[in-house]
């Protein structure tokens, strides 16, 4: 109406100016302000548009009569969205705002180097002028944050690897990724429930601890060292951590990293909310080099000498001895975890695993470096109950009380890993009672063998002590042949027994 009135009253050259003036006056008296968030700013896609779409998906799924559905790449969930030209009211800290999704056909005459979508999409955010401050400072940040959270929840986790050996992909990325679908969770993880709960709350504290880390001036990161024999669930624990927090995993293959600067670049290209894993750290660090270094270093504090090489395939004669430019050093690795470089990006968890904690360098173990040392041990009775539940669906009451007691009696002595136990259970999972009995049998055999081995070890130790005492006495007094012979015979006998037991172990 105003257009036709204008064209009747004003000459064409004045029309535009007058229209603009009227708009201004209207805006002046309006209680609302409007924000346009278009899908495309002409060159790039607008991140905020995608974020708003995701954010509104959480409310659209509940309130809307007509919602659009979509499923993103790498996602196993369906996302709800506001339909075209539909609107929705949202409330934030008591402030009401209105979101409108506007879809208009694109003007075909518009010139662009790139083909543009046929429709122009955008959100209009309407808020009261008095709430302008809240909307611009807090609400939009909140929308972005919430959208990221939804994205993480919807998206399957990714497992990254640097197996390409330092070469970059077409986008200059050193990591290769695949969808991470490991089903391990804390629920299925067989370990002491108390320890498990402690780890879970530690992880949760970390994930929610942004303000704590900010306040205390610490980098927002945490290190876990998982150690224990093979098959006790170290890798399963990492997968459970990732699934619990919804983080991606970066599996760092140290032997593929040749220099400290390469390591730094890899770190810089990791995203926040991720777990950076170095498996079998004792196998990645060349301990012979460490020993050489320690023996040549003056003074006892060998662990301070951090420039040992990591066993990466370095070219022969490449100056390895001086820990020089083209090798990766322990100090480089430590810088990676807790030096200045560790805090580029935030919310990162470092996990190192090892089968032999005693082989690790004290520099890696000193307090503050790895925040939590987690011992993954042989199966306990509590862990066994979880495995019975996982594999046979058996609760405590489903197993005969007598058998349960027998299992409890023998489990500690048997020193069987959860991996070994699950093997027995999987093999017999069709016949559950047989599975339990076979497991009991396997545990008994192991316990007996361990018992024998321990007895042999003990008597050997006794024998050595007696040997030493005997030598001393022999130096002091003249030998009493009868006793010596007796001792020797005893040792010989036990030595023989010991060898037998060892042979058994090799075969088993
Ligand atoms: N604590 C556990 N709880 C549940 N399952 C387990 C546990 N430990 C081992 N398993 C089972 O055994 C298999 C091997 O475990 P996993 O790979 O986690 O062991 P690991 O400690 O990482 O061994 P390695 O030191 O050889 O890498 C897993 O597939 C899992 O099914
Ligand atoms: Mg493992």
Per-residue pLDDT of the chain (508 residues; tens, 9 = 90+): 555 665 666 677 677 777 777 777 777 777 888 999 888 766 666 778 888 888 887 765 555 566 666 666 655 666 667 777 778 888 888 899 998 888 887 665 555 555 555 678 889 999 998 888 888 888 998 998 888 888 777 777 789 998 776 676 655 678 888 888 889 999 999 999 999 999 999 999 999 998 898 888 888 889 999 999 999 999 999 999 999 998 999 999 888 888 888 888 888 888 888 999 999 988 775 533 444 444 433 333 333 334 444 444 433 333 333 444 457 777 777 777 776 766 666 788 999 999 998 888 887 787 677 889 999 999 999 999 999 999 999 988 888 999 999 999 999 999 999 999 999 999 988 899 999 999 999 999 999 999 888 878 777 777 666 666 666 666 565 443 333 344 344 434 443 443 333 333 322 2
C-beta of residue 93 within 8 angstroms of C-beta of residue 181:
no
Nearest ligand to the CA of 184 is: 1
Ligand 1 atom with the shortest distance to the CA of 419 = 12
Q: Report the nearest-CA residue for atom 16 of ligand 1.
A: 233
As a whole number of angstroms, the distance between CA 508 and CA 502 comes to: 10
Instruction: Return the residue matching tokens 């197996």.
Output: 163
Ligand 1 geometric centre to CA of 380 (Å): 14
Report phi then psi at 189, rounded to 5.
-75, 125
Q: List the one residue out of 104, 63, 103, 56 whose CA is nearest residue 81.
A: 56
pLDDT tens digits, 11-61: 776 777 777 777 777 777 778 889 998 887 666 667 788 888 888 877 655
Ligand 1 atom with the shortest distance to the CA of 190 = 3
Ligand 2 geometric centre to CA of 231 (Å): 7
For the chain, the 3-state helix, strand and coil shares in percent, each to the nearest 5, are 50, 15, 30
Q: What is the ipTM of this complex?
A: 0.98
Report phi then psi at 212, rounded to 5.
-60, -45
As a whole number of angstroms, the distance between CA 369 and CA 398 comes to: 45
C-beta of residue 338 within 8 angstroms of C-beta of residue 369:
yes
Ligand 1 geometric centre to CA of 397 (Å): 26
pLDDT of residue 79: 62
Q: How many CB atoms sit inside 10 A of residue 49's CB?
A: 17
C-beta of residue 370 within 8 angstroms of C-beta of residue 225:
yes
Ligand 1 atom with the shortest distance to the CA of 189 = 3
DSSP state for residue 298 in the 8-state scheme: S
Q: Report the nearest-CA residue for atom 17 of ligand 1.
A: 235
Number of H helices, E strands in the chain: 18, 13
Identify the three-state secondary structure at position 219. Answer: coil
Q: Report the nearest-CA residue for atom 7 of ligand 1.
A: 233
Q: Report the nearest-CA residue for atom 13 of ligand 1.
A: 419
pLDDT of residue 453: 85
Q: List the one residue out of 196, 270, 283 whose CA is nearest residue 237.
A: 196
For residue 498, CA distances in Å to 295, 414, 486, 495, 503 come to 35, 19, 18, 5, 9
Q: Which pair of structure tokens corresponds to residue 273?
A: 């909310």
The kind and range of the H/E element at 373 are: strand 372-375
């Amino acid at each position: 109406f105003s257009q036709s009135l204008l064209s009747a009253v004003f000459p064409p050259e004045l029309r535009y100016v007058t229209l603009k003036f009227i708009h201004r006056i209207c805006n002046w008296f309006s209680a609302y302000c409007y924000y346009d968030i278009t899908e495309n700013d002409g060159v790039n896609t607008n991140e905020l548009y995608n974020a708003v779409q995701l954010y509104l998906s959480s409310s659209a799924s509940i309130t809307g009569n007509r919602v659009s559905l979509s499923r993103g790449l790498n996602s196993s969930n369906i996302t709800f969205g506001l339909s075209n030209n539909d609107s929705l009211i949202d409330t934030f800290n008591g402030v009401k705002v209105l979101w409108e999704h506007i879809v208009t056909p694109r003007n075909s005459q518009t010139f662009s180097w790139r083909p543009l979508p046929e429709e122009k999409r955008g959100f209009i955010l309407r808020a009261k002028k008095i709430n302008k401050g809240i909307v611009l400072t807090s609400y939009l940040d909140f929308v972005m944050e919430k959208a990221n959270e939804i994205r993480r929840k919807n998206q399957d986790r990714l497992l990254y690897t640097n197996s390409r050996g330092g070469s970059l992909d077409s986008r200059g990325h050193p990591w290769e990724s695949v969808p991470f679908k490991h089903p391990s969770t804390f629920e299925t993880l067989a370990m002491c429930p108390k320890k498990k709960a402690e780890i879970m709350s530690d992880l949760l504290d970390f994930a929610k601890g942004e303000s704590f880390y900010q306040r205390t001036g610490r980098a927002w990161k945490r290190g876990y060292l998982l150690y224990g024999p093979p098959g006790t669930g170290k890798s399963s624990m990492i997968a459970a951590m990732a699934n619990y927090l919804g983080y991606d995993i970066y599996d760092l293959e140290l032997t593929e990293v040749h220099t400290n600067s390469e390591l730094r670049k890899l770190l810089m290209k990791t995203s926040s909310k991720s777990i950076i894993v170095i498996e079998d750290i004792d196998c990645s660090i060349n301990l012979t080099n460490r020993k050489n270094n320690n023996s040549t270093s003056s003074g006892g504090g060998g662990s301070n000498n951090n420039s040992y090489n990591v066993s990466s395939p370095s070219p022969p004669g490449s100056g390895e001895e001086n820990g020089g430019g083209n090798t990766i050093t322990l100090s480089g690795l430590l810088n990676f975890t807790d030096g200045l470089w560790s805090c580029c990006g935030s919310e990162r968890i470092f996990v190192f695993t090892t089968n032999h904690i005693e082989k690790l360098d004290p520099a890696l173990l000193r307090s503050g470096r790895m925040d939590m040392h987690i011992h993954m041990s042989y199966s306990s009775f509590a862990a066994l109950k979880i495995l019975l539940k996982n594999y046979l669906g058996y609760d405590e009451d489903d197993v005969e009380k007598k058998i349960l007691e027998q299992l409890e009696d023998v489990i500690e002595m048997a020193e069987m890993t959860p991996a070994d136990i699950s093997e027995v259970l999987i093999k017999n999972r069709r016949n559950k009672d047989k599975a339990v009995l076979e497991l009991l049998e396997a545990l008994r055999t192991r316990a007996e063998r361990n018992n024998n081995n321990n007895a042999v070890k003990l008597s050997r130790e006794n024998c050595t002590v007696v040997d030493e005492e005997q030598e001393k006495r022999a130096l002091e007094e003249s030998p009493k042949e009868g006793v010596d012979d007796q001792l020797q015979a005893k040792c010989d006998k036990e030595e023989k027994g010991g060898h037998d037991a060892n042979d058994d172990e090799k075969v088993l």
